[in-house]
Amino acid sequence: MTTLTQDDKKRAVARKAIDFVPDNALIGVGTGSTVNFFIDELARIKGRIDGCVSSSDASTARLKAHGIPVFELTNIGELPVYIDGADEINHSLHMIKGGGGALTREKIVAASAQEFICIADEAKYVAKLGTFPVAVEVIPMARSLVARELVHLGGHPEWRQGFVTDNGNLILDVHNLEILKPVEMETAINQIPGVVCCGIFARQHAHVLLLGTDSGVKEIR
Ligand code: 5RP
């Protein structure tokens, strides 16, 4: 069996995701290094889609650089498909996302799509979520309040210093959270005043996981 690099696996899932792109439609596009490979693949077939809705300024810039039209979500109805990476994904297709800080727009675009296709290399596939810190987007004035509440939930929040989200907010990366019930933990974090969004995607999990492995791309539902 050939040993592939992590980038080889990201490239392979990005290529496979093209099979899930319908003709003459607007496609929801996530953020991150795996999605960057996907955007490059999308550029090859850009003639058969109408354009994209993007989850970050970074993805918008890359799509536009390829000459792919980008539309504002608020002017669009439902999207057939949203394609994005993950920092961790479990067997129920619950995810931790937000390593790149784009979690809020990612959750909004994902919620507007009929199907969420997650593209990830096998290092991201875990039995239990929580080794990767959970990003929490916070209104700046609420940073200390939210941090204290996250400690009550058992986590160790760390301010991502020098980073401002596309929405003008801050990120707290929460280490050591015991995520036994992802849906309940997502809800508990979301209810803290000042939290815009948290990086647990369990209420809205992926529908399909394209997992890059040494033996090829596995499709998991
Ligand atoms: C960005 C994200 C990304 O999907 C996640 O961080 C995975 O990124 P990569 O493909 O670079 O490993 O949630 O906010």
Task: Confirm if 79 and 113 have CB atoms less than 8 A apart.
Answer: yes
Atom of ligand 1 lying closest to residue 36 CA: 10
SS3 assignment for 170-194: EEEEEECCCCCCHHHHHHHHHCCCC
72-112 confidence digits (pLDDT tens): 999 888 999 999 999 999 999 999 999 999 999 999 999 99
Ligand 1: residue whose CA is nearest its atom 1: 100
Query: Using a 6 Å cutoff on CB, does residue 95 contact ligand 1?
Result: no
| CA 159 remoteness from chain centre | 20
Query: Using a 6 Å cutoff on CB, does residue 32 contact ligand 1?
Result: yes
Cα Rg of the chain (Å, integer): 17
Structure tokens that stand for 171 in this block: 């990120």
The neighbour count for residue 68, using CB atoms within 10 Å, is 20
Query: Using a 6 Å cutoff on CB, does residue 85 contact ligand 1?
Result: yes
**What is residue 77's predicted lDDT score, i.e. its pLDDT?**
87
Interval between CA 44 and ligand 1 midpoint (Å): 22
How many Å apart are CA 191 and CA 167, to the nearest integer? 19
Interval between CA 31 and ligand 1 midpoint (Å): 6
**What is residue 83's predicted lDDT score, i.e. its pLDDT?**
98
Task: Confirm if 220 and 211 have CB atoms less than 8 A apart.
Answer: yes
126-141 confidence digits (pLDDT tens): 999 999 999 999 999 9
Query: Using a 6 Å cutoff on CB, does residue 104 contact ligand 1?
Result: no
Mutational pocket test of ligand 1: of 83, 97, 169, the residue with most ligand atoms within 8 Å of the beta carbon: 97
Atom of ligand 1 lying closest to residue 101 CA: 14
Instruction: Reduce the DSSP state of residue 196 to 3 states and report it.
Output: strand
**What is residue 3's predicted lDDT score, i.e. its pLDDT?**
84
Interval between CA 161 and ligand 1 midpoint (Å): 19
The set of residues, in sequence order, having a beta carbon less than 8 Å from that of 115 and lying 6+ positions away, is 20, 80, 81, 82, 207, 208
- For residue 105, what is the DSSP state? H
Give, rounded to a whole angstrom, the gap between the first and last alpha carbons of the chain: 25
How many Å apart are CA 197 and CA 172, to the nearest integer? 11
Structure tokens that stand for 93 in this block: 């297709």
pLDDT by residue for the chain (221 residues), tens only, comes to 678 999 999 999 999 999 999 999 999 999 999 999 999 999 999 999 999 999 999 999 999 999 999 999 998 889 999 999 999 999 999 999 999 999 999 999 999 999 999 999 999 999 999 999 999 999 999 999 999 999 999 999 999 999 999 999 999 999 999 999 999 999 999 999 999 999 999 999 999 999 999 999 999 99
Task: Confirm if 128 and 179 have CB atoms less than 8 A apart.
Answer: yes
How many Å apart are CA 83 and CA 28, to the nearest integer? 6
**What is residue 1's predicted lDDT score, i.e. its pLDDT?**
61
Interval between CA 30 and ligand 1 midpoint (Å): 8
